[in-house]
Amino acid sequence: AQKVTQAQTEISVVEKEDVTLDCVYETRDTTYYLFWYKQPPSGELVFLIRRNSFDEQNEISGRYSWNFQKSTSSFNFTITASQVVDSAVYFCALSETGANSKLTFGKGITLSVRP
């Protein structure tokens, strides 16, 4: 069975601070996918990144970066120089592969960025 744990429930930072959102996953598969989604107050989940388990390269996209560590089963997300618009709930998700794969989401982390 697959599982995603986001131990942090709420994080509050002041604008321009860096913040890291943790994600730990469990799976028996050797091939799987990891995702991060952002849910702003408007409600829709916004896709941020999809990572294949064979690709352990860290990724940077503007102020966002992701650190994939297979050895610790973690896929952490860092926002550099946070902004008020980053305030949202962030979900990490895992999917195994195959015809029966489906997304398993963590419970989400509520990030508040104060001016």
Partner 1 sequence: ETGVTQTPRHLVMGMTNKKSLKCEQHLGHNAMYWYKQSAKKPLELMFVYNFKEQTENNSVPSRFSPECPNSSHLFLHLHTLQPEDSALYLCASSQLPPGQGSGSYEQYFGPGTRLTVT
Write out the residues near partner 1 by the rule CB under 8 A: 4, 33, 35, 37, 42-47, 50, 91, 94-108
Nearer to partner 1 by Cβ, of 13 and 45: the residue is: 45
Nearer to partner 1 by Cβ, of 36 and 82: the residue is: 36
Type of residue found at 84: V
Q: Rounded to the nearest whole angstrom, what is the least distance from the CB of residue 53 to partner 1 in the complex?
A: 12
Q: How many CB atoms lie within 10 A of CB 6?
A: 19
Q: Rounded to the nearest whole angstrom, what is the least distance from the CB of residue 22 to partner 1 in the complex?
A: 16
Q: Rounded to the nearest whole angstrom, what is the least distance from the CB of residue 111 to partner 1 in the complex?
A: 17
> Exposed/middle/buried for 28, CB within 10 Å: 0-12, 13-18, 19+?
exposed
Nearer to partner 1 by Cβ, of 57 and 100: the residue is: 100
CA dihedral sign of residues 50, 101, 44, 37: negative
Q: Rounded to the nearest whole angstrom, what is the least distance from the CB of residue 115 to partner 1 in the complex?
A: 25
